[in-house]
């Protein structure tokens, strides 16, 4: 196994939960979240093998993976999704998961549904900042937006989630 | 404010499903995947990765195969749906109509040499252990060849069943014992009873009077000879003394 493969293996083990959680908050269900996470890492792998060593060394894995995942979610047009090889046993198991507390899991899923239903620009900003706990700067980098825009979108997204959106409902 | 952000933070603690990383690594070919195939040999479990086929076994169950694989190759293997064309490829390979790629990275250079050489033995033919040893440049390493073949991770695909004892006896077989070895060779068209008769009579080679060439009895070039032109030879020295030279295809002795 060469250096890139070892790096990728470490990357998968280190970031799999983070990327899955990201997918869950963006899509609102675990099945899609797994697909997003899978697709994100597959894309990351395909990119890594083409990168020169110094680019791999300087790579900020966390924002980089978030950026890829955002693109994956954006490209998931219903009915025209990139075909993934289905593996046996990859069907999401709703009854049993790594989370021990089933109630906690249900609460998580319920919140994920609400977050995923937000208009895209607020959803992405809120999830990056408050679910994934990236800094405003990292979130802005991942989104390719100015920090001020991200802050405004996070603020508005939180407001929508709290349900005290009394001004307007343009999105 | 604080409750919502706390809840969002908790959402970030969601865990990827069990086995996610393993399935992913299998998908990029870094971990081995496996599936079972119905073949001429019955159900065969076959593992593959990006390098090619990495293992095969006629295990009784998926669990048994997984345990065997982990023990044999020292790494995990993940159940997967086979790529759509793989079943056909496996069947073609076992029927001798195709040459697949193999992953032999876990084997020592000597073992790899033995396995690669064994792969050159055509379907329907057999060679002695000593032949493999000589061909790979270790003429005295017959036992080591036997051990390497006994540990063949990809039996049936790498035809270790086509290597038999130098005295003509069929020898042991890691892919299911001597009986399985007989069955597979018979399936490939080797006339074992005849070969064992020859072996009992001390015959090792078949010579053809008209060409003055001697072959292993199963060599496909020698099979074209007419019965009346065939002479049976006991060893290389007497064959050479009678004016025969070794076949350049099956290379029964050192090809001069």
Q: Which domain holds residue B109?
A: 104-198
Q: Which of B76, B94, B112 is the last residue of a domain?
A: B94
In CATH, what number does A118-171 get?
Answer: 1.10.10.10
Contact B27 A104 (CB under 8 A): no
Helix/strand/coil for B213: strand
Question: Among A78-87, A98-107, A112-121, B240-249, which is the least confidently predicted range?
Answer: A78-87
Specify whether B250 is catalytic.
Answer: no
What letter would DSSP give residue A129?
I
Distance from the Cα of B27 to chain A's closest Cα (Å) equals 8
Question: Among B2-11, B92-101, B172-181, which is the least confidently predicted range?
Answer: B172-181
Residue of A nearest to B4 (CA): A162
Do B118 and B186 lie in one domain? The reply is: yes
Q: Which of B35, B68, B94 is the last residue of a domain?
A: B94
Residues 6+ apart with CB under 8 A from A153: A121, A122, A124, A125, A126, A145
> Residue A171's pLDDT band (boundaries 50, 70, 90)?
very low
Which one of B11, B26, B82 makes the best mutation probe of the A interface by having the most chain A beta carbons within 10 Å?
B11
Quote the percentage of chain B above a pLDDT of 90: 41
What letter would DSSP give residue B34?
E
- The predicted-structure confidence for B23-62, as pLDDT tens digits, reads as follows 888 878 778 899 999 887 888 999 998 888 999 999 999 9
Residues 6+ apart with CB under 8 A from A149: A140
Which chain B residues contact residue A107 at CB under 8 A? Answer: 7, 10
> B127-128 and B163-164 as β-strands: parallel, antiparallel, unpaired?
parallel
CA dist., res. B130 & res. A4, Å (int): 42
Do B126 and B164 lie in one domain? The reply is: yes
> Residue B207's pLDDT band (boundaries 50, 70, 90)?
very high
Number of structural domains chain B divides into? 3
Among B1, B7, B24, beta carbon nearest to A12 = B24
Query: Domain A1-77+100-117 classified CATH 3.40.50.1100?
Result: no
B63 touches A: beta carbon within 8 Å: no
B62 touches A: beta carbon within 8 Å: no
Q: State mean pLDDT over B221-247.
A: 89
Which chain A residues contact residue B30 at CB under 8 A? Answer: 1, 5, 8-9
Q: Which of B94, B128, B149 is the last residue of a domain?
A: B94
Do B111 and B192 lie in one domain? The reply is: yes
Distance from the Cα of A4 to chain B's closest Cα (Å) equals 11
In a domain, B12, yes or no: no
Contact A93 B17 (CB under 8 A): yes
What pLDDT does A165 receive? 57
- From the list B160, B215, B219, B250, the catalytic residue is B160
Q: Is the pLDDT of residue A21 over 90?
A: yes
We report the CATH number of the domain holding residue B184 as 1.10.10.10
- Among residues A160, A25, A152, the alpha carbon closest in space to that of B10 is found at A25
Distance from the Cα of A17 to chain B's closest Cα (Å) equals 5
Contact A99 B14 (CB under 8 A): yes
What pLDDT does A166 receive? 54
What pLDDT does A93 receive? 47
For B96, the token pair is 């001798």
List, by residue range, all CATH 1.10.10.10 domains of chain A. 118-171
Helix/strand/coil for B91: helix
What pLDDT does A128 receive? 95
Contact B5 A130 (CB under 8 A): yes
């Amino acid at each position: 196994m060469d250096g890139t493969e070892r790096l990728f293996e470490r990357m998968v083990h280190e970031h799999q939960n983070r990327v899955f959680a990201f997918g869950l908050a963006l899509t609102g269900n675990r099945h899609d979240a797994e697909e997003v996470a899978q697709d994100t890492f597959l894309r990351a792998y395909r990119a890594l093998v083409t990168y020169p060593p110094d680019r791999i060394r300087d790579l900020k894995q966390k924002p980089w993976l978030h950026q890829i995942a955002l693109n994956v979610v954006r490209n998931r047009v219903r009915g025209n999704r990139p075909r993934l090889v289905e593996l046996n046993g990859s069907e999401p198991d709703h009854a049993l998961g790594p989370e021990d507390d089933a109630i906690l899991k249900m609460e998580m899923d319920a919140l994920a549904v609400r977050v995923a239903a937000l208009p895209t620009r607020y959803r992405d900003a809120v999830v990056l900042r408050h679910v994934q706990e990236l800094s405003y700067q990292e979130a802005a980098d991942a989104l390719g937006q100015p920090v001020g825009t991200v802050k405004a979108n996070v603020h508005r997204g939180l407001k929508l989630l709290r349900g005290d959106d009394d001004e307007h409902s343009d999105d | 404010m604080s409750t919502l952000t706390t809840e969002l933070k908790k959402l970030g603690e969601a865990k990827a499903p069990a086995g996610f990383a393993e399935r992913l690594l299998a998908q990029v070919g870094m971990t081995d995947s496996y599936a079972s195939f119905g073949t001429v040999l019955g159900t065969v479990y076959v593992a593959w990765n990006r390098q090619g086929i990495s293992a095969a076994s006629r295990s009784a169950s998926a669990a048994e195969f997984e345990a065997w694989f982990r023990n044999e190759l020292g790494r995990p293997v993940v159940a997967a749906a086979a790529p759509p064309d793989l079943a056909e490829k496996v069947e073609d390979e076992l029927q001798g109509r195709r040459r697949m790629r193999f992953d032999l990275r876990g084997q020592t250079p000597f073992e790899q040499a033995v396995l690669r050489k064994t792969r050159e033995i055509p379907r329907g033919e057999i060679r002695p252990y000593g032949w493999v040893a000589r061909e790979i440049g270790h003429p005295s390493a017959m036992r080591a060849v036997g051990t390497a073949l006994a540990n063949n991770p990809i039996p049936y695909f790498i035809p270790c069943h086509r290597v038999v004892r130098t005295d003509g006896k069929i020898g042991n077989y890691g892919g299911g014992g001597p009986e399985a070895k007989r069955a597979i060779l018979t399936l490939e068209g080797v006339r074992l009873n005849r070969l064992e008769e020859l072996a009992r009579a001390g015959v090792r080679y078949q010579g053809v009077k008209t060409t003055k060439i001697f072959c292993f009895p199963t060599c496909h070039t020698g099979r074209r000879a007419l019965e009346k032109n065939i002479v049976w030879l006991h060893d290389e020295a007497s064959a050479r003394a009678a004016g025969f030279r070794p076949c350049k295809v099956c290379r029964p002795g050192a090809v001069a």
